[in-house]
Amino acid sequence: MKSLITLAAAILAACIFSSCGSPGTPNPNQVRPLKAVHVNPFEAGTYAHFRAQKGYPRNYGVWRNEAVLARTNASNSSIRIDLSAQRGYLMNGKELAMDYPVATGRSKYPTPTGNYRILEKIQSDKRSNTYGRIYDAEGNLVKSNADSRTDPIPEGGKFVGAAMPYWMRLTWDGVGMHKGNVPRYPASHGCIRTYYKAVSTVFSKVRVGTRVSIVR
């Protein structure tokens, strides 16, 4: 019996060392490039699911809590702007009503952080006094990204300020929230450009005096 046990142990050892010394045939599936698939682990429709989407926060998604939005109005709303995330948050007390894309000031014209209140609301007839386009006397475009303070206007020409619909002023030196082009990076002259799919809702839920906090 002892000799049989010794023989079995020797055979087992030989198999182990043989398998270690001689690699098996590679599995082709282990070396074939495979494209990873993003799987969102959260329940669809929840805010956790929204935040776990590919590209968030620098995507164009807008999340709405319809139940909270329905009871949000100018008397109970506030806004939080996150410069790092390039996101705006419409709040009802401590409840989030909407999360939406914004584009704030680029490095040369940074949007100032701090706590503000809306000073003025103008839905449609608002243009920038500083930034816009310059045309010559014949109506030809001379400069598309003009600064009225420094760029000369040709004789007979004119400066046309950039349109800023849904204007919500935060400072008297020109910073405010308004509808505009929203690339997913800071791009403005200091204002908070608000995504077109969200700006009318934001405008309708605030008033002069609504609190706005800007954080980094």
Helix (H/G/I), strand (E/B), else coil: 20: helix
pLDDT of residue 20: 46
Q: What span, in angstroms and rounded, lies between the C-alpha atoms of 120 and 115?
A: 16
Looking at the chain, the domain(s) classified CATH 2.40.440.10 span: 47-123+168-214
Q: What span, in angstroms and rounded, lies between the C-alpha atoms of 176 and 185?
A: 17
Query: Alpha helices of the chain — where are they, by DSSP H?
Result: 2-21, 47-51, 66-70, 199-204
Q: What span, in angstroms and rounded, lies between the C-alpha atoms of 163 and 123?
A: 11
DSSP 8-class letter at 30: G
- Residues in Cβ contact with 82 at an 8 Å cutoff, skipping those fewer than 6 apart: 57, 88, 89, 215, 216
User: 153: left (phi > 0), else alpha (psi -120 to 50), else beta?
Assistant: beta
pTM: 0.80
Give the pLDDT of the chain (216 residues) as one tens digit per residue: 555 445 555 554 554 444 444 555 666 666 666 677 778 999 999 999 999 999 999 999 999 999 999 999 999 999 999 999 999 999 999 999 999 999 999 999 999 999 999 999 999 999 999 999 999 999 999 999 999 999 999 999 999 999 999 999 999 999 999 999 999 999 999 999 999 999 999 999 999 999 999 999
pLDDT of residue 133: 97
Residue identified by tokens 């599936």 is 29
Q: What span, in angstroms and rounded, lies between the C-alpha atoms of 56 and 45?
A: 15
- C-alpha neighbours within 13 Å on the C-beta side of residue 146: 21
- The CATH class that applies to domain 47-123+168-214 reads mainly beta
- Where b means 16+ CB within 10 Å and e means fewer, 68-80 reads bbeebeeeebbbb
pLDDT of residue 19: 46
